[in-house]
């Protein structure tokens, strides 16, 4: 479904900022070996590094589904660079823009988006 413009709302921006902060907290926890980690503010608890990575992707997918379902533009309020790129790419796809995405499925590192210019 192509639309010329996405919606904007204070509620959507607040929700996006909340998930952005949650993701930033999860990502910022150093986790080299299996150890018990608890982020009390978010009620997130994990032991394995793989679980941490799954939590990161779950937060990202929640925001992507929110953008898809509500058609709200939120990338402009996101501070986490990788999350901002991912959200921006979803917004552009909803606007019908062609793009090339490069991603490492095992990590957020290396994620890049190039939006094709309209001719």
pLDDT tens for each residue of 65-85 = 999 999 999 999 999 998 998
Does residue 32 lie in a domain region? yes
Pairing of the two strands 99-102 and 44-46: unpaired
- pLDDT confidence of 99, banded at 50, 70, 90? confident
pLDDT at 98 over 90: no
End-to-end Cα, the chain, rounded Å:
20
Domain that holds residue 35: 10-115
Cα separation of 114 and 105, whole Å? 18
- pLDDT confidence of 119, banded at 50, 70, 90? very low
Query: Three-state SS for 35?
Result: coil
Name which residue leads in pLDDT, 102 or 1.
102
- pLDDT confidence of 40, banded at 50, 70, 90? confident
Name which residue leads in pLDDT, 118 or 47.
47
Does residue 53 lie in a domain region? yes
Does residue 86 lie in a domain region? yes
Residue 119 CB partners (closer than 8 Å, separation 6+): none
Q: Can you give the pLDDT at residue 97? A: 85
pLDDT at 50 over 90: no
Does residue 5 lie in a domain region? no
Does residue 3 lie in a domain region? no
Contact status, residue 81 vs residue 108, Cβ threshold 8 Å: no
Q: Can you give the pLDDT at residue 14? A: 97
Does residue 1 lie in a domain region? no
pLDDT digits (tens, 9 = 90+) for 103-116: 666 665 656 666 65
Number of neighbouring beta carbons within 10 Å of residue 75: 19
The whole-chain average pLDDT of the chain stands at 84
How many distinct structural domains can be found in the chain?
1
Does residue 94 lie in a domain region? yes
Does residue 64 lie in a domain region? yes
């Amino acid at each position: 479904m192509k639309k010329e413009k996405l919606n904007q709302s204070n509620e959507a921006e607040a929700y996006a900022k909340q998930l952005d902060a949650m993701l930033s907290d999860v990502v910022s926890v150093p986790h080299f070996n299996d150890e018990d980690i608890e982020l009390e503010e978010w009620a997130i608890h994990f032991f394995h590094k793989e679980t941490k990575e799954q939590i990161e992707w779950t937060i990202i997918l929640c925001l992507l589904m929110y953008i898809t379902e509500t058609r709200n533009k939120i990338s402009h309020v996101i501070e986490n660079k990788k999350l901002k790129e991912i959200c921006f790419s979803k917004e552009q796809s909803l606007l019908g823009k062609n793009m090339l995405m490069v991603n490492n499925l095992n990590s957020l590192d290396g994620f890049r988006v190039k939006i094709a210019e309209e001719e």
